[in-house]
Structure 1
Amino acid sequence: MWKFAIEDAVEKTRNNINRFGELFPHVSMNGKKYELNDNDDWTDGFWSGMLWLCYEYSNDPIFKEKAQKTVESFQNRLNKNIVLDHHDIGFLYSLSSKAQWMIEKNEAARELTLQAADKLLSRWREKGQYLQAWGPKNDPKEGGRIIIDCLLNLPILYWASEQTGDPKYLDVAEAQAEKSRRYLVRGDDSSYHTFFFNQETGEPIGGATHQGYTNGSTWTRGQAWGIYGFALSYHSTKKSTYLDTAKRVAKYFIEHLPDDFVSYWDFNAQVNEDTPRDSSATAIAACGLLEIISHLNEDDSDRKCFEEAAIKMMKSLVDNYSTINEKDAEGLLKHGSYHVRGNLAIDDYMIWGDYYYLEALMRLEKNHKGYWYE
């Protein structure tokens, strides 16, 4: 099953190279066509990551050549500082230039990734002791905000510390992971999407949401970021609290899945026949579960539960949510949701959903770990 699904994804990605040209896919909107941009959105690294995964699976140079072109675009984006006033630098550069470094040992790609890590480091707010998610420093609305998504941006800092031997990257990444553990994960192992702090003192103000159902609800994609993000922080720090936290938020995710093992957009949203799913959240969570499993002993009491859940989630995505029998489809996963409350890209393709779906398939079939760490 996994091999067939990967080969379908490779073929669709090959077709998309011509369709997309020099542009980058984001989400689809009320249809089957991806919206494209000039590499100015937070999601553009996922297209690069898919190209690198397809190259590693197929060894077809068309994927390598296109992926290299995207890295050139990311160099230009950093040089010109094009829409980089946010924390999603890790999403952009881990899957583009860092992937190139990991595959080709290209020194220019390594240097670009280190420059990107420095760009993310500039988001550190010394007074509050956190990485600011969005907006410029001292922004009255966004200045005190962290969000759970940032956990997937931290691997570029862990990598930069390993590459350079400079502890400043590691120190910031650990501080952010710890702040996320303390304030974004609630007592019942659910999660806030965002949390606010006083910009001057660092005093905690409270949790909220940006894309979830309510401030106190559990946005499923945020919970999935927590599963994978804390597992990745454990990989780089070997701090048992991060693995424990990853396991806790994973159990919450699994226990609240519907019968077909693919999540709705928020675990607290009222469920009826019209409630949107978010297949992308389930793909992310599957990657996170597989990462957790890689750190568990064979006799760990949670291992079997996580393995069974990951397989059921991926089988359901392949059987019920993929575009395997749709030859001309641009996306790999249907029924993703970007921003339900904002009425933005509901029941559509999400490029990050496609990326994590392919990464999870590659983990299952090839034991590939993605491009988050070497």
Structure 2
Amino acid sequence: MWKHAIEDAMMKIRNNVERFGDRFPHVSENGKYELNNNEDWTNGFWSGMLWLSYEYSGDEFYREAARRTVESFKRRMEQHIVLDHHDIGFLYTLSSQAQWIVERNEEAKQLTLQAADVLMRRWREKGEYIQAWGLPDNAQHGGRMIIDCLLNLPLLFWAYEQTGNERYREIAIKQADQSRRYLVRGDDSSYHTFVFNTETGEPLGGATHQGYTNGSTWARGQAWGVYGFTLAYRYTRNPLYLDTAKRMANYFLEQLPEDHVAYWDFNAPVDVNTYRDSSASAIVAAGLIELIGHLDDSDPDRAEYEEKLKLSMTSLVDNYSTIGEDDAEGLLKHGSYYVRGGVAPDDYMIWGDYYYLEALMRMDKGIKGYWYEL
């Protein structure tokens, strides 16, 4: 099953290289991806899909396409195009760092270290957090950290491993610790965002940006926590991170409906029109594969995670993928971006496609993705 799904996905990716040219997919509307000139937070996922396709197939077509995206990211860095946010890891881990991992390209390594420095500039000493969006004086977001940042921290951990500069690791650990303290609730659910007073660093409270309510649990945010804390454990071996990842995974899996694919928010009223978020389930699937790898056979959660992973991935392939739809641009249907804002509430999401492909390739060939080096 996994091999057939991968082959179908790679066929679509090949077609999309021709369709997209030098532009990057973001989210879709009516089945057509919106494209941009490498100026959004999601562009690294397309690059990562190309590198995965090359690793899987050895086909130079995918490698040349992936290399072109890295050249685009080099220009983006040189011109500082829309980099005043925390999603630098999403951009450069899956593009230039991927090239370094696959090809040992020194220029790609140096570009990735530059990216780590850009992310480091978002650290706010008062409050001790990485600011998610905007400049420090941004009235709306100046004191805001968000759970998504956990998937940007591997860039800093990797930079520490490459340079020995302890500051990268120190900031990554502090951000992970603050995320545990302020974003993960006592019942193992999560806030999307948390706000600090920019003048004093005083913690003010949790809120949402894309979830149903401030007190609800946005499915994709919970998914970032599952994978993000697992990766933090890989880099630090801090058992608190592994425990947090497991608790968040258990919460996510306990909320799933009968077809094992998440609704967009676990507290949203459920009826026949409630949106799913296949991308959240794809992120958790990739995260569970990583998480299972850190558990020994005696861990009672391991067998359950393996079972739930298979159920979820089977449902994604059978019920949410575009297998058999040869002209489809996306790999996974029924992802949601920003439901309350009415932005792409039910369509393709490029990050959903990426994590779905990563999970498939990890399950079929053990190709791990680019969040760390072996």
TM tier relative to shorter chain: over 0.9
Mapped to 2, the partners of 1:301 and 1:46 lie a distance apart of 33
Q: What are the within-5 Å matches in structure 2 for residues 73-88 of structure 1?
A: 73-88=72-87
Mapped to 2, the partners of 1:363 and 1:215 lie a distance apart of 35
Whether 1:186 and 2:185 are equivalent positions in the alignment is: yes
Shift of the alpha carbon at 1:244? Answer: 0.2
CA RMSD of aligned residues (A): 0.6
Mapped to 2, the partners of 1:365 and 1:74 lie a distance apart of 30
Q: What are the within-5 Å matches in structure 2 for residues 61-100 of structure 1?
A: 61-100=60-99
> Number of matched residues?
373
Shift of the alpha carbon at 1:140? Answer: 2.2
Amino acid of the structure 2 residue aligned with 1:50: M
Shift of the alpha carbon at 1:346? Answer: 1.3
CA contact 1:128–1:200 (8 Å) conserved in 2: no
Shift of the alpha carbon at 1:203? Answer: 1.4
Aligned to 1:167: 166
Aligned to 1:18: 18
Name the SS for the 1:339 alignment partner.
coil
Mapped to 2, the partners of 1:321 and 1:344 lie a distance apart of 20
Shift of the alpha carbon at 1:137? Answer: 1.1
Shift of the alpha carbon at 1:69? Answer: 0.4
* Residue deviations 1:184-218 (CA, integer Å, cap 9, x gap): 00000000000001112221100000000000000
Whether 1:109 and 2:139 are equivalent positions in the alignment is: no
Aligned to 1:252: 251
CA contact 2:56–2:367 (8 Å) conserved in 1: no
Q: What are the within-5 Å matches in structure 2 for residues 1-374 of structure 1?
A: 1-29=1-29, 31-374=30-373
Mapped to 2, the partners of 1:234 and 1:51 lie a distance apart of 27
CA contact 1:218–1:266 (8 Å) conserved in 2: yes
Mapped to 2, the partners of 1:284 and 1:134 lie a distance apart of 22
Amino acid of the structure 1 residue aligned with 2:48: G
Name the SS for the 2:13 alignment partner.
helix
CA contact 2:127–2:203 (8 Å) conserved in 1: no
Output the TM-score relative to the length of structure 1. Answer: 0.99
Output the TM-score relative to the length of structure 2. Answer: 0.99
Mapped to 1, the partners of 2:127 and 2:77 lie a distance apart of 26
Amino acid of the structure 1 residue aligned with 2:56: Y
Name the SS for the 2:300 alignment partner.
coil
Mapped to 1, the partners of 2:182 and 2:127 lie a distance apart of 13
Contiguous gaps of at least 5 residues in structure 1: none
Name the SS for the 1:214 alignment partner.
coil
Amino acid of the structure 2 residue aligned with 1:72: E
Mapped to 2, the partners of 1:50 and 1:141 lie a distance apart of 33
Shift of the alpha carbon at 1:138? Answer: 2.4
CA contact 1:227–1:246 (8 Å) conserved in 2: yes
Q: Which moved more, 1:78-87 or 1:198-207?
A: 198-207
Contiguous gaps of at least 5 residues in structure 2: none
CA contact 2:42–2:351 (8 Å) conserved in 1: yes
Mapped to 2, the partners of 1:289 and 1:93 lie a distance apart of 23
Name the SS for the 2:337 alignment partner.
strand
Mapped to 2, the partners of 1:34 and 1:52 lie a distance apart of 20
Q: Which moved more, 1:193-202 or 1:326-335?
A: 193-202
Name the SS for the 2:252 alignment partner.
helix
Name the SS for the 2:344 alignment partner.
strand
Moved over 4 A (4+): none
Mapped to 2, the partners of 1:302 and 1:203 lie a distance apart of 37
Mapped to 2, the partners of 1:123 and 1:318 lie a distance apart of 38
